[in-house]
Structure 1
């Protein structure tokens, strides 16, 4: 037994007896770090530490200043150290999950992975994410340096890294021959490569140096894999959604001689870019078929039905050009193909340019708002076009009207997102057909594209930034008759010559 050095003789026996019976290890050291005393518990836990020797640099415990140049260290029990280490690991992994869990971008996940690794797990880190054609993107950092991103050929990576990317599911140590700038520039760095698994297969490889705890590194890699899998799944779903969304967007009307088209479209949810309103125009013999409508519901389900209606009309126009009969065929198709009770309202028409100018319109109504006609003299007429909803009953009645547009006159179709836009002083008053008709009185000279945009803007101004339904506007205008420009011809007169 070693008595504390420098302790009063009268107190030493009692102090030694007290310390010797403690289950907690105690070391007494001087300011220079020389061990003056150790109790039996400390001797069992630190057999390599002797009185008169130096205190370990990595000593863990509670430090107490005793004065007179002496310091007491109360050592942690092995179970306490293990518990503290486990808590530290759990805290780090929880922080990793929180940081990576909110990321749905693979690049951001990879960058954050390297930042977390070099801050808490390793001296340097490199994450390799294969792309295509034997290439890979990599994120790397060493120490406190910022994360950098580069591209690398997979064939240039060490065999251990390639093996991990090819399917090796376990971590393995290796030497990077010839050195690498990715891991701090050492000549031949010793490293570990750990697979990052996504959907059960290696999606990336994490290379680290100076690993302190391999088990913690593997748990960390598992959380990175879960975050990377979520980001890649989100990216794949986004690509599918974007492709489908593009196919569901309204198509610009095909150009037809003698007709001037105008369209405007604003879905209720601007982030989706699609909704339940639809329009279109396709050439037919002697002119064009055009339509505008609205399906019940909102969002993706409504957009899918609008796509079905548009594609059906594209095909059906080749076997039936009469608008009223075409609505009956479309009605039968909706009754057979739609099982959730959805229906549509629409106006379907044909436009046939006349040899002397103007166009002949034939309109069929399926429960939609009546069209408006802007005459050349500035008057606005409401077309009395009635009809039942499309896709509700197997014996529908659809209205039919024919009219003539003189050159420069326009027929305007619109959905209820315009007339039912709520605004005003309290934000609850609908825009209404009367306001729209009044506003259009001065728009007769507008080309069809400008008129459609004007109607959309009227509705948006009335809304004042509030939520709204899908808005669609479709205008067909008879092209004004173009007259040949007048030319001024100079008349040459014979000059009079006077001879003197």
Structure 2
């Protein structure tokens, strides 16, 4: 029994003997096999298993690999993919996949074993007869393989298997019989055999009558969770092909630059972009894409979303697909054209009305998903621009001081509530600040955009640490008072309060300090307003709080703030953090419970500023089982 290339090695069990006898008949002989356990089975994983197994067996020159051609391996990959897709994706069952190489004949045997054969497939009805087929290309292949070879039943398991050999270029007589002798004579492989049947309208109606509503519901759930328009376009193709069409394409348009005028002529700027192309046969996609890019859809009926005829790209397809029908659907959301969806099916003079109606419903959902994704992208871009404008480009270098910064906003798409700054204030002074504002997003951006410039302005005007906090506190309260007065005037006039009329209480916790190089050290003056207290790590390894607690900014009018002054000697380190560090949770515990932050800092004695910052960050991340749920910022200042 050979080793399995990418998964696990299994031994022959007595319970497996009937299945092997059924699949291999009297051929017998040694076999090399690879198995994918049920918990890991996806179509992609199954394809990877077969490809890796064939490559490994050929590399090791196992007996039988002299018959293992590249085409045979490709056919085995495709058969495996379709079997698993039907079981896992369409039927919703859990399966185990096995691929075996017969050393005597070089044939590949693929088995898909259902461990729960009595469990009803997802969405099935008990009264549906066994003969009722699902009309996807994969299920037709499964039916052909099952009829040509067999289905093995054992206690607690049901196996569908296929044996592919190099005896013919069509990967076995069982597939050739399914495709017809014409396919054999033309030398077609499995990918070509899977081309759609020309007459299937009646079966489409049968399927649509049973599953259209559930299909739309599942499609809506799938599309609603996507915030990338390219991914939405890709999902649209996967939903449509091969269930509803042989191929489809999605064009997207820029809402301002790529619109069409009343005569169907592209407006100025960038026109429609062919985002995705899907075909039931993967080797047709590139040719189809090239043909479609030459002739993008040109709708002439304004904002109508219904289907209109689209020229059949026969030159990009083979002889069996030289004739067919294609339809274009405008993707419209919120009265704005976002693109076009085109579907095509060969061998039909027209699409059944049931299909066109279902695709029209699906196209509306695709358009809404694209619109939502674009709105999210715009908001994310605005937030990123705000974030870049609210924080310094770089931390200023302070003579005689090494600094290190860690800044991790929880919401990657918008401004966080934490901010920091390190800047020169003139007269040999450098100032630093670490703050946390009330709220997140635009509300946080407004307050940071108010506080940070004022900090710099007051510091450069010569105000000392405590005076800066006094004036910033008054600034926040004045803004709140003005908003409250505006709301009162609105109520007195009898009109509803507007967006800016109500009181907007704004809180700000802030650690603010000033550094002045003196002699062999650095003089530090700082104050904490409702902020986690800074910790001072001495060169001897002792840790103490470097400030006393005071009230949040923006809470009490006429509050008087005080500051602390001390010297940082060579090797002394000042650690400033936000509550994303101290209040990091693990169950009911917080990181700073029982002086956890001071204990962590004490263990950093002798380390550089950069290593201290990295260690504290790592300890904070490791403290909880999940990623941090709050913004995280810490600043390390170390006297050299």
TM (norm. structure 1) is 0.65
Aligned to 1:119: 242
Instruction: Provide closer, same or farther for how the CA distance between residues 445 and 139 of structure 1 changes in structure 2, counting only shifts above 3 A.
Output: closer
Aligned to 2:612: 451
Instruction: Provide closer, same or farther for how the CA distance between residues 195 and 266 of structure 1 changes in structure 2, counting only shifts above 3 A.
Output: closer
Within the alignment, does 1:234 sit opposite 2:373 as a pair?
yes
Aligned to 2:215: 95
Aligned to 1:195: 330
> Which of 347, 351, 367 is matched with 1:212 structurally?
351
Aligned to 1:107: 230
Using the TM superposition, give the Cα deviation of residue 398 of structure 1 relative to its aligned residue in structure 2, in angstroms.
0.8
Q: For 2:571 and 2:589, locate their aligned partners in 1 and report how far apart those are by CA, in whole Å.
A: 36
Equivalent position SS for 1:369: coil
Within the alignment, does 1:402 sit opposite 2:539 as a pair?
no
Q: For 1:143 and 1:417, locate their aligned partners in 2 and report how far apart those are by CA, in whole Å.
A: 50
Aligned to 1:342: 506
Aligned to 1:351: 515
Matches within 5 A, 1:370-389: 370-389=533-552
Using the TM superposition, give the Cα deviation of residue 204 of structure 1 relative to its aligned residue in structure 2, in angstroms.
1.0
Matches within 5 A, 1:96-495: 96-103=216-223, 104=226, 105-130=228-253, 133-134=270-271, 136-137=273-274, 139-141=276-278, 148=285, 156-157=294-295, 161-164=297-300, 170-173=306-309, 175-176=311-312, 179-181=314-316, 190-202=325-337, 203-209=339-345, 210=348, 211-214=350-353, 216-245=355-384, 247-248=386-387, 251=392, 252-267=394-409, 269=410, 275-285=416-426, 286-296=428-438, 301-302=443-444, 305-306=447-448, 308-337=450-479, 339-354=503-518, 356-422=519-585, 427-428=588-589, 431-432=592-593, 434-441=595-602, 443-463=604-624, 465=626, 470-478=631-639, 480=640
Aligned to 1:30: none
Alignment coverage as a number of residue pairs? 391
Higher relative helix content? 2
C-alpha contact (below 8 Å) 1:348/1:364 kept by paired residues: yes
Using the TM superposition, give the Cα deviation of residue 405 of structure 1 relative to its aligned residue in structure 2, in angstroms.
1.7
Q: For 1:151 and 1:259, locate their aligned partners in 2 and report how far apart those are by CA, in whole Å.
A: 59
Which blocks of at least 5 consecutive residues in structure 2 are unaligned?
A: 1-201, 259-269, 481-502
Q: Deviations over 1:26-83 (max 9, x none)?
A: xxxxxxxxxxxxxxxxxxxxxxxxxxxxxxxxxxxxxxxxxxxxxxxxxxxxxxxx9x
C-alpha contact (below 8 Å) 1:164/1:193 kept by paired residues: no
Equivalent position SS for 1:352: strand
Instruction: Provide closer, same or farther for how the CA distance between residues 238 and 140 of structure 1 changes in structure 2, counting only shifts above 3 A.
Output: closer
C-alpha contact (below 8 Å) 1:141/1:182 kept by paired residues: no
Instruction: Provide closer, same or farther for how the CA distance between residues 333 and 258 of structure 1 changes in structure 2, counting only shifts above 3 A.
Output: same
Instruction: Provide closer, same or farther for how the CA distance between residues 91 and 347 of structure 1 changes in structure 2, counting only shifts above 3 A.
Output: same
C-alpha contact (below 8 Å) 2:435/2:509 kept by paired residues: yes
Instruction: Provide closer, same or farther for how the CA distance between residues 436 and 116 of structure 1 changes in structure 2, counting only shifts above 3 A.
Output: closer
C-alpha contact (below 8 Å) 1:296/1:344 kept by paired residues: yes
Equivalent position SS for 1:387: coil
Instruction: Provide closer, same or farther for how the CA distance between residues 113 and 386 of structure 1 changes in structure 2, counting only shifts above 3 A.
Output: closer
Q: Deviations over 1:170-228 (max 9, x none)?
A: 5333544x843169885575543333333334421424343332464145224313323
Q: For 2:627 and 2:363, locate their aligned partners in 1 and report how far apart those are by CA, in whole Å.
A: 41
Instruction: Provide closer, same or farther for how the CA distance between residues 330 and 153 of structure 1 changes in structure 2, counting only shifts above 3 A.
Output: farther
Deviates more, 1:103-112 or 1:427-436: 427-436
Q: For 2:317 and 2:250, locate their aligned partners in 1 and report how far apart those are by CA, in whole Å.
A: 10
TM (norm. structure 2) is 0.52
Using the TM superposition, give the Cα deviation of residue 326 of structure 1 relative to its aligned residue in structure 2, in angstroms.
1.6
Which of 1 and 2 has greater Rg?
Answer: 1
Q: For 1:125 and 1:422, locate their aligned partners in 2 and report how far apart those are by CA, in whole Å.
A: 49
C-alpha contact (below 8 Å) 2:246/2:280 kept by paired residues: yes
Using the TM superposition, give the Cα deviation of residue 391 of structure 1 relative to its aligned residue in structure 2, in angstroms.
0.6
Aligned to 2:68: none
Using the TM superposition, give the Cα deviation of residue 344 of structure 1 relative to its aligned residue in structure 2, in angstroms.
1.7
Aligned to 2:69: none
Aligned to 2:186: none
C-alpha contact (below 8 Å) 1:114/1:126 kept by paired residues: yes
Larger RCO: 1 or 2 (CA < 8 Å, sep 6+): 1
Q: For 1:433 and 1:414, locate their aligned partners in 2 and report how far apart those are by CA, in whole Å.
A: 17
Using the TM superposition, give the Cα deviation of residue 410 of structure 1 relative to its aligned residue in structure 2, in angstroms.
2.2
Equivalent position SS for 2:298: helix
Higher relative strand content? 1
C-alpha contact (below 8 Å) 1:248/1:306 kept by paired residues: no
C-alpha contact (below 8 Å) 2:466/2:563 kept by paired residues: yes
Using the TM superposition, give the Cα deviation of residue 439 of structure 1 relative to its aligned residue in structure 2, in angstroms.
4.2
C-alpha contact (below 8 Å) 1:93/1:219 kept by paired residues: no
Using the TM superposition, give the Cα deviation of residue 239 of structure 1 relative to its aligned residue in structure 2, in angstroms.
4.2
Equivalent position SS for 2:396: coil
Using the TM superposition, give the Cα deviation of residue 443 of structure 1 relative to its aligned residue in structure 2, in angstroms.
3.4
Aligned to 1:24: none
Equivalent position SS for 1:148: helix
C-alpha contact (below 8 Å) 1:109/1:228 kept by paired residues: no
Using the TM superposition, give the Cα deviation of residue 331 of structure 1 relative to its aligned residue in structure 2, in angstroms.
1.3
Q: For 1:228 and 1:446, locate their aligned partners in 2 and report how far apart those are by CA, in whole Å.
A: 55
C-alpha contact (below 8 Å) 1:409/1:444 kept by paired residues: no
Deviates more, 1:405-414 or 1:270-279: 270-279
